[in-house]
Amino acid sequence: MPAVAADSRIPAVDERLIQRCRQGEQDARRELFQHTSDDVRRILFRLAGPVADFEDLVQQVYLAVFASIDGFRGESSFSTWLFSVCLHVVRKRSRSRGRWLRLRARLAANPPAPAADARAEVDQAERARRVWHTLDSLSVRQREVLVMYEMEGMTGPQIAEILGIPQATVWTRLHHARRAFRRRFRWE
């Protein structure tokens, strides 16, 4: 059962499933959606934040995936290609509104565990708000690289491929993003 290798946190996708999607099989498209939709939602949330039209963004991603799946040649992993589709949809939405969406992200892949007491829960919520506020203050380029590397677990070469930039630029942007985040984040 050959599978398209996964990077990041998106599970591998069977090459036969991709081929069936290319042939227009509705069951295959449904299966691909079910296999990847949680990951697409996580990526979109981290890139676009809690926007009112979040489900529309998810739908736009899958419309783009199924319209362009013939363009997936397997030179990169399916997860890299899927992340680039998500990024393209968020950027397109941003351009259409004439401004970049404020990006929001979580500290970890999973929501924080419930706090033991009310004070700890309030502290945790305040810390998350400060993280989001700090991420919002970064430039678009810095946020993209920081989200991809620190939160999605992508490698430098994967980020370079998705953004279409040299790998050295990835490391430079990441360095500046981390430095700006540390400088702006209120630790109190």
Q: Which two tokens stand for residue 174?
A: 């990441």
Domain boundaries, the chain: 1-101, 106-188
> Tokens in use for 42?
């996580």
How would you write the pLDDT of the chain (188 residues) with one tens digit per residue? 334 434 456 667 888 988 999 998 999 999 999 999 999 998 888 887 777 788 999 999 999 999 999 888 888 888 889 999 998 998 887 765 543 333 333 343 345 555 457 777 777 778 777 877 787 788 888 988 988 888 888 899 999 998 999 999 999 999 999 999 888 887 76
Q: What is the architecture, at CATH level 2, of domain 106-188?
A: Orthogonal Bundle (1.10)
pTM of the model: 0.64
Class of domain 1-101: mainly alpha
Burial of 85 (0-12, 13-18, 19+ CB in 10 A): buried
Q: How many helices (H) and strands (E) would you count in the chain?
A: 8, 2
Task: Please choose, from the candidates 122, 131, 84, the residue with its C-alpha nearest in 3D space to the C-alpha of residue 103.
Answer: 131
